[in-house]
Homo-oligomer: A and B are copies of this chain.
Amino acid sequence: MLDAAEHRALRRALEIAADPAVPLGPNPRVGCVLLSPAGEILAEGHHRGAGTPHAEADALSQASSSAAGPSLRGATAVVTLEPCTHVGRTGPCADALIEAGIGRVVIARRDPNPVAAGGIQRLREAGIEVELELPEELAAAAAALNRGWEHGLQHARPLVTAKVALTLDGRAAAADGTSQWITGPAAREEVHLLRTTCDAVLVGTGTARVDTPTLTARRPDGTLHSRQPLRAVMGTGTAPSLPAVDGAGEELRLLTHDPSAALEELFSRGIRHLLVEGGPIITAAFLRAELVDELIVHLAPTLLGAGRAAVEDLGITTLVDRLDLDLVDASPLPSPGGPTDLRLTLHPRHRTA
């Protein structure tokens, strides 16, 4: 069980780990807070991406360089991820905590990486108390922090979130092709925030051609968020380059129709969480291939009765073959003065899983 100071420290460690200046991709985001036996914060540290010190090393170095130069004997380290045991740029973090005289370590998440795991055992063998039991809410936050990275370790492909905006009757555009905007300001702002939590966004050549989207993550005032996703355009059709925007993520053309091939290429470039933003043919291709892990639907309370479907042919002809999903959440997205859209979060049930 965590005491109140450890509880606060873990919240803080999760917060600094999620620093938007830190890139996503193939390294986990980790935060570390060192507490005195009396529960005062002695130092904080976090990992800032490939080639930089681990969070524990960052915090230990901050503690040793501080004017007060506090002893860490009997101190508690609160970390968002199991300390590593492998020799990287700064040596195994578990050993560094042991050498520093840390007495107790609170760990929010076990390391799913077999190369790095073993920290808990090594700490315990050194006589250090290791605490793994924490409130559900904090455990969920620690799990969410690196879900793309963890997914990559387990499945050797990026986590795929697909997002669609559609009307009550499943339309993504009216009969004449007009589609801006199906949803209201709150839903559109949420899409931009979603882009900041993914390594890459992907559209098909058709969407690139017709909508010429910038695929940047913007604030309502039009300025760019500090983290920008790679911008992937998939397909063998012709499509112009995406609009050039200062500060936007790199653009990548994926000359394939095959979602597996696209994911392989993206994974090799360090992408661990992909946001598929359509159009309907691309979304259907990922769904048919059972390569969507999470579907986010922005449902607008409007009817068109005709127009482009939001999801194209899935190769399903009869009801029993339908693609079932588990509804995880349904939340209203009210826009001041406008209509209230609905955000649905769903997990496809994979038949082959």
Contacts and interface: CB of A to CB of B under 8 A. Distances in A.
Contacts of A307: 316
A342 B179 CA distance: 25
A319 interface: yes
A174 B322 CA distance: 8
A125 interface: no
A176 B318 CA distance: 6
B319 A342 contact: no
A326 B300 CA distance: 10
A319 B310 CA distance: 14
22 contacts: A166-B168, A166-B170, A174-B318, A174-B322, A176-B319, A178-B318, A284-B305, A301-B324, A301-B326, A301-B327, A303-B314, A303-B323, A304-B319, A304-B322, A305-B314, A305-B316, A306-B316, A307-B316, A324-B339, A326-B340, A327-B339, A330-B332
Contacts of A166: 168-170
Contact of A170 (B168, B317, B319): B168
Interface residues of A, number: 51
A66 interface: no
Complex copy number for this chain? 2
Given A168-B344, A302-B322, 16 more contacts: A166-B169, A168-B297, A168-B311, A170-B309, A174-B321, A175-B316, A176-B318, A284-B305, A301-B326, A302-B323, A303-B322, A304-B314, A306-B317, A324-B339, A327-B340, A330-B330
Nearest to A303: B323
Q: Which of A170, A171, A317 has the most CB of B within 10 A?
A: A170
Contacts of A305: 284, 287, 309, 311-316, 323
Interface in A316-350: 316-327, 330, 332, 339-342, 344, 346
B346 A311 contact: no
Interface in A155-208: 166-171, 173-176, 178-180, 182
A318 B175 contact: yes
7 nearest interchain CB pairs?
Answer: A170-B170, A305-B314, A178-B319, A169-B170, A174-B319, A301-B327, A303-B323
Contacts of A284: 305
A11 to B, nearest CB: 30
A231 to B, nearest CB: 25
Contacts of A330: 330, 332, 342
Contact of A168 (B321, B341, B346): B346
Contacts of A342: 327, 330, 344
A319 B169 contact: no
A324 B287 CA distance: 29
